[in-house]
Amino acid sequence: MKNVLCLARYEELGSSSRVRFYQYFNFLSKVSIRNAPLLTDEYVKKIYSGRKISLMYLVNRYLRRFALLLKAKENTLWIEKELFPMFPFWIENIFYRGRRVIVDYDDATFHIYDNHPNKLVRFLLGNKIDKVMRRADVVIAGNSYIRDRAASAGAREILIVPSAIDIERYEVKKQYDNARKAIGWLGSPSSQSLLESVFPVLEEVSRLREVDFIFVGVRGLPETSFRYQEYNWSLDTEVSMIQKFDIGIMPVEDKPFQHGKCGFKLIQYLACGVPIVGSPIGVNKDIIIDGKNGYSAISSDDWVRTLLSLIDDSEKCKIYGVFGRQQVAEHFCIQALFTDIEKALIGD
């Protein structure tokens, strides 16, 4: 059995680490995994609550990872994005030598560096992720945008694995004929500006129809002319919160970093049988099948029109929801994808 050192970014509360790494652990029976995340749940809690992160905390966590890698006996490293954010490639490469390296990306991390507002960061680190991709034995990409970057960087082997859910954890909503529909969004404070970008649309929809709005994982939203229900995000309650939605939305900006996103909100909505409306940016274009599981929306008029179409037709919501659930079961669940990851970890 191959021994693998998993070097995720976060502990369980970090969504990228949980989705791209931890939920697969119980399925990877042919490898032995030791998990060593860089940052703790306390870090994630502080980020979500807007509290400051001390420099000493980060120094301590980086030193712990340095020490771990110096002592590690495992010859296979399974890495989330990079070993040391904001450190140059040559430092990471010290720990790659003589080891099989599998690196996973669920977003366009390279744009954090090559589009950074600081010229010095762009100069020193602009091509860091390209170097990581080129050195890795396997790059696991969450979508084709990341795959194309890995290919241009000269990656040896590229495997596309979309962000996925554990289908057994998500139950389909039971009721579609609510007289008052609920439009929902699930995310985090770091992404809520995307939700706020469609507030004018939601204001117009609330003027035309009696509808509820449920926002999960937000903090300090601006005042609006419509009422909404606001909830903290919790791993224990996220599925039950989505089941309250009649329509799930995912607005996205047409910016380079957003093109690397993996559309996980949409996948979560569909897993619960909730029809979707979202921006056709990045992988969203592949997940949204117009007239089958929901609608793409570009302009404000598109958003209003498609939302009203679903609000006014409960049967359509049910049909789209059933289709979406089947779509997730076939293409976006860990039960269908774990063997690809296991093969990448084992190698030849």
Which of 334, 343, 335 has the alpha carbon at shortest distance from 21?
Answer: 334
Mean pLDDT for 39-43 is 96
Report the DSSP beta bridge partners of residue 4.
33, 76
> Domain tally for the chain?
2
Structural domain contains residue 238: yes
- The model's pLDDT over 192-209, given as tens digits with 9 standing for 90+, comes to 999 999 999 999 999 999
The DSSP output letter for 127 is T
Structural domain contains residue 113: yes
Instruction: Outline where DSSP puts E strands in the chain.
Output: 2-7, 31-35, 76-80, 100-105, 138-141, 158-160, 181-186, 211-216, 229-231, 247-250, 276-278, 294-296
Q: What is the CATH number of the domain that holds 316?
A: 3.40.50.2000
- The model's pLDDT over 249-278, given as tens digits with 9 standing for 90+, comes to 999 999 999 999 999 999 999 999 999 999
Q: Residue 190: what pLDDT?
A: 87
Same domain assignment for residues 92 and 152: yes
Q: SS3 for 295? A: strand
- The model's pLDDT over 99-153, given as tens digits with 9 standing for 90+, comes to 999 999 999 999 999 999 999 999 999 999 999 999 999 999 999 999 999 999 9
Mean pLDDT for 3-16 is 97
Same domain assignment for residues 307 and 236: yes
Same domain assignment for residues 233 and 113: no
Same domain assignment for residues 135 and 188: no
Same domain assignment for residues 244 and 289: yes
Percent of the chain with pLDDT over 70: 100
Same domain assignment for residues 139 and 198: no
Same domain assignment for residues 6 and 150: yes
Same domain assignment for residues 16 and 160: yes
Q: Residue 220: what pLDDT?
A: 87
How far apart CA 277 and CA 295 sit, in angstroms, is 5
- The model's pLDDT over 209-220, given as tens digits with 9 standing for 90+, comes to 999 999 999 988
Domain around 98: 2-164+334-346
Same domain assignment for residues 8 and 119: yes
Same domain assignment for residues 121 and 155: yes
Same domain assignment for residues 272 and 243: yes
